[in-house]
Copies of this chain bind each other. A is one copy, B any other.
Amino acid sequence: MGPLKKIAVLTSGGDAPGMNAAIRAVVRGAIYNKLEVMGVIRGFEGLIENDLIPMDSKSVSNIIQQGGTILKSARSKEFMTKEGRQIAYDNLKQHHIDALIVIGGDGTFTGARVFSQEFNIPTVGIPGTIDNDLYGTDYTIGYDTALNTVIEAVDKIRDTASAHSRLFFIEVMGRDAGFLALRSAIASGAEAVLVPEISTDYKKLDAFLKNSYNKEKSSSIVLVAEGDKISGGAIKVAERVDKEHPDYNVRVTILGHIQRGGSPSAFDRVAASRMGVSAVEALLDDQKSVMIGMVNNEIVYVPFNQALKHKKPLNPRLLELIEILSI
């Protein structure tokens, strides 16, 4: 293959705040390095439908602060088939595109890895997901913004919880991982947290809630990760507690899709800007099938194989912190 001349960028899977900042950094990083760059609309689906647009510096002006993704996102069933990927590849070739940058989560990288190997097309991934569940990077784009969205919501709910001395169970996103729930529990001063990584110890929760109740704390807040299947989510836990302790004044709120939106935080904008430029540099550096990661504030390349194989563990120190701080 000859030297790199033209690349494409797409966003795929669940959207996350900061994806636009990453797109901007990819586009401007490419132009800075004398590469042409095209944007794919609606992820792998758009690649199959040949929905690509040329991008220049101006097409990413004034987007760094916007939530969502100007390239739109989608989940593509057709891309899971060999035939779909062949069409996608043919479209890339038609546009003389040499390499691909994909922004998304593990589903996105699974697709990208297969595609990259099948057609020998260099592909670099940028981790964009509010779940922060990718191995090999300390942070994913969107995670910090989602944390701030959650704590602002919990701050609001605590106003009303305090006014009425209520016990609130609040469900936050995180199908398979408790990162968002755990950190936002610490940051919002929640009294307890339930995460999928640890099976809920009802006796302990019960003892804790009884203790809070007896201390006449003005309110209590428990965060529940949606993916905590054993507990069944916030509604199930709340029903169980309410049944046993009808005097606890229990309420439930499911934060839902507000967690995916909003203007990205400073942290996410800086991370997205660094990762976007680094993704272009990785391609120039002849990388073929890696995710850009950030470890100890430095950029690293993480092979897709590795990022997808391992499960990132929760920091046990943070779990302990919840217990200390709710004393």
Contacts and interface: CB of A to CB of B under 8 A. Distances in A.
B15 A159 contact: yes
B158 A15 contact: no
B15 A269 contact: no
A141 to B, nearest CB: 13
A277 B327 CA distance: 12
A112 to B, nearest CB: 19
A157 interface: yes
A258 B253 contact: yes
Interface in A219-274: 251-258, 260-263, 265-267, 269-270, 273-274
B64 A189 contact: yes
A87 to B, nearest CB: 21
A69 B162 CA distance: 8
A168 interface: yes
A163 B321 contact: no
Given A72-B162, A157-B258, A327-B57, A267 B267 contact: yes
Contacts of A267: 144, 147, 267
A325 B65 contact: no
A102 interface: no
B297 A28 contact: no
A140 interface: no
A155 B68 CA distance: 10
A25 interface: yes
Nearest to A63: B189
Interface string A136-159: 001000001001111101011111
Interface stretch (A1-9, A78-86, A88-96, A180-188): A180-188
A67 interface: yes
Given A62-B158, A273-B325, A164 B74 contact: yes
Contacts of A57: 327
A66 B274 CA distance: 27
A76 interface: no
Contacts of A251: 257
A325 B162 contact: no
Contact of A163 (B69, B168, B255): B69
B324 A32 contact: yes
Contact of A68 (B17, B151, B162, B188): B162
A165 B267 CA distance: 28
Contact of A325 (B25, B150, B163): B25
Given A17-B159, A168-B257, A263-B155, A325 B24 contact: yes
A214 interface: no
Contacts of A260: 156, 159-160
B15 A163 contact: yes
22 contacts: A15-B163, A62-B158, A65-B189, A66-B159, A67-B159, A68-B162, A73-B163, A144-B266, A144-B267, A147-B267, A151-B266, A153-B258, A155-B262, A156-B260, A157-B257, A184-B266, A187-B269, A187-B270, A188-B269, A252-B256, A265-B265, A273-B325
Nearest 5 interchain pairs by C-beta: A156-B261, A67-B159, A159-B261, A68-B159, A147-B266
